[in-house]
C-alpha cells in the first residue's frame, strides 16, 4: 500500500525521533493532496528517511498521531493483533487481583485514539480520533480474536471526538451487553454501570492506590473519602477494618452504587453524603469534625494548559481544608488525574495548602495510575494520574 505523505518541521521531527507520538498542525510544512480525515500517512522530515507511519486529521490541532516509529510497518490486521497481544501480556500479573482492567491505554500502548476496557467478559471500547475510527473494523476483529468476549460496547469520548470533527458514537457493537455488572477487585465486588457510568464505568486506574491507602490507614479513626464515585477507596478501608467511613460525591447515581457496593460486601459503618466536596469540607470544619484519613480524588481540574493555575488553586484549597480535619499523624491521599498537572505542580500545591494550614507533612508514598495504564517514555500524555500519600505532623 502506498501511503500519502506529510512533511513536518525540524522541531516535530526531533520530537518524533524521541518517540513523541503527536505532530501539531503548526508543525506541518507540506501534505500530499487529497488527504482524508484519519487517513494513514507516512510521516517525513523535510530531508531524509521517513520517521514513521501514523494517521492524519488536518481538522484537529493534533494533526498527526504516530502508530509506528518504523516507516516500513503497515497498520494492518496483523499489526493490531500483535499490538493487542503485547498489551494483554503486559497485564498478565493483574488477573489474580481482578477481572476488570484496561486492555489498551491509547498512547501508553502505542495506539493513540484507542481505549479498551475489559469488564468480566465485556469490552468497552473508545474510538476517540478520526484515524482510529477508520481503523475500527481491524481493531474489533483483532479484539474478538484476542480473548473470549460476551459483548462489545462503544463508549467513545464525545468531547475528544468533537475535536476530531466526529459525531458521538455510543451503544452496543456486538453481543448482548448488560446495563450493569459486578466486577471483582481484590476481596471486594463493585457494581459497574457499563452503559451510563462515568468514564467506561469504573476508575480502573486507581486499583493499586486503593490497595495502598487501605494498607496504611489507622483503622481506629474515621475515613473521609471525598469525590468517592462508587466508594472504591472508602470501602477498601472498610474491608480492612475501618469502623467509620464517610463517602462524599456530588453524583447521586454514583453514591447509590456506593451504597449497593457496601451492602453487597457486607460492610457496615459507611455513610453516604451527596454534596459538593468543597462545601462539605467547610461544613465539617464548622462542626468540629475530625478524621484519621482523608482521600481527595477529584475530577481533572485542568483539561488544558490554560486551566493549570486554577487547578492548582483547587488542590491547595482541598489540602488546606482537609488538613484542618486531620490530627497529628493523620493521613491524606491526594490525586490529580490530568496530564497537564505534573508531580512537581501537585507537590507545590500541597506545600502551599499545608503552609496555609500551618502543618508539616511527610510524603509516605508516591502514587500513580496502575500498570494497566502504561506510561510510555517519550509520550507524556500517557502519564496522567499521580498522587501522594502524606502523613501530617
Ligand X SMILES: C[S@@+](CC[C@H](N)C(=O)[O-])C[C@H]1O[C@@H](n2cnc3c(N)ncnc32)[C@H](O)[C@@H]1O
Using CB under 6 A as the criterion, which residues of the chain lie in contact with ligand X when the complex forms?
Answer: 198, 203, 206, 227-230, 232-233, 249-251, 254, 276-277, 297-299, 337
Helix or strand (DSSP H, E) at 185: strand 180-185
Long-range contacts from 12-17, C-beta under 8 angstroms, 24+ separation: 13/45, 13/46, 13/51, 16/43, 16/51, 16/52, 16/66, 16/69, 17/51
Write down the least CB distance from residue 32 to ligand X, Å.
42
Q: Which three cell numbers, joined as nine digits, stand for 242?
A: 475501618
Decide whether 62 or 228 has the Cβ nearer to ligand X.
228
CA 301/CA 307 separation, integer angstroms = 7
The reply to whether 337 belongs to the active site is yes
Query: What is the 8-class DSSP label of residue 98?
Result: B
Decide whether 158 or 276 has the Cβ nearer to ligand X.
276
Write down the least CB distance from residue 189 to ligand X, Å.
14
Decide whether 213 or 379 has the Cβ nearer to ligand X.
213
Decide whether 43 or 277 has the Cβ nearer to ligand X.
277
Q: Which three cell numbers, joined as nine digits, stand for 214?
A: 487501605
How close are the terminal C-alpha atoms of the chain, in Å?
A: 64
The answer to whether residues 53 and 112 touch, using CB atoms and an 8 Å cutoff, is no
Write down the least CB distance from residue 233 to ligand X, Å.
5
CA 59/CA 56 separation, integer angstroms = 9
Write down the least CB distance from residue 337 to ligand X, Å.
6
Catalytic residue positions, numbered: 337
Amino acid at each position: 500500500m502506498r501511503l500519502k505523505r506529510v512533511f513536518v518541521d525540524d522541531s516535530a521531527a526531533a520530537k518524533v525521533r524521541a518517540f513523541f507520538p503527536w505532530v501539531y498542525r503548526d508543525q506541518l510544512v507540506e501534505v500530499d493532496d487529497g488527504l482524508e480525515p484519519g487517513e494513514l500517512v507516512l510521516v517525513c522530515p523535510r530531508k531524509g528517511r521517513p520517521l514513521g507511519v501514523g494517521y492524519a486529521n488536518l481538522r484537529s490541532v493534533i494533526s498527526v498521531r504516530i502508530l509506528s516509529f518504523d516507516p516500513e510497518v503497515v497498520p494492518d490486521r496483523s499489526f493490531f493483533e500483535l499490538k493487542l497481544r503485547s498489551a494483554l501480556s503486559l497485564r498478565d500479573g493483574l488477573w489474580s487481583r481482578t477481572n476488570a482492567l484496561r486492555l489498551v491505554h491509547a498512547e501508553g500502548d502505542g495506539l493513540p485514539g484507542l481505549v479498551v476496557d475489559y469488564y468480566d467478559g465485556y469490552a468497552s471500547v473508545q474510538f476517540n480520533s478520526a484515524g482510529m475510527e477508520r481503523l475500527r473494523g481491524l481493531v474489533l476483529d483483532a479484539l474478538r480474536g484476542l480473548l473470549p468476549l460476551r459483548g462489545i460496547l462503544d463508549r467513545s469520548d464525545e468531547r475528544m471526538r468533537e475535536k476530531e470533527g466526529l459525531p458521538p458514537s455510543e451503544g452496543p457493537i456486538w453481543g448482548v451487553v448488560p446495563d450493569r455488572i459486578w466486577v471483582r477487585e481484590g476481596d471486594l465486588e463493585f457494581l459497574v454501570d457499563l452503559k451510563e457510568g462515568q468514564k467506561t464505568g469504573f476508575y480502573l486506574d486507581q486499583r493499586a492506590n486503593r490497595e495502598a491507602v487501605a494498607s496504611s490507614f489507622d483503622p481506629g479513626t474515621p475515613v473521609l473519602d471525598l469525590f468517592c464515585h462508587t466508594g472504591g477507596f472508602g470501602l477498601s478501608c472498610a474491608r480492612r477494618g475501618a469502623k467509620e467511613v464517610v463517602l462524599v460525591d456530588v453524583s447521586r447515581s454514583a453514591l447509590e452504587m456506593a451504597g449497593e457496593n457496601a451492602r453487597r460486601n457486607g460492610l457496615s459503618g459507611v455513610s453516604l453524603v451527596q454534596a459538593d466536596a468543597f462545601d462539605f469540607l467547610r461544613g465539617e470544619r464548622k462542626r468540629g469534625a475530625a478524621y484519621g484519613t482523608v482521600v481527595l480524588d477529584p475530577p481533572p481540574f485542568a483539561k488544558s494548559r490554560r486551566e493549570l493555575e486554577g487547578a492548582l488553586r483547587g488542590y491547595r484549597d482541598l489540602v488546606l481544608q482537609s488538613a484542618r480535619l486531620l490530627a497529628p499523624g493523620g493521613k491524606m491521599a491526594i490525586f490529580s488525574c490530568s496530564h497537564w498537572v505534573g508531580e512537581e505542580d501537585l507537590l507545590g500545591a500541597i506545600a502551599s495548602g499545608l503552609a496555609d494550614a500551618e502543618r508539616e507533612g511527610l510524603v509516605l508514598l508516591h502514587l500513580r495510575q496502575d500498570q494497566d495504564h502504561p506510561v510510555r517514555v517519550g509520550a507524556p500524555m500517557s502519564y496522567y494520574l499521580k498522587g501522594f500519600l502524606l502523613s501530617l505532623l
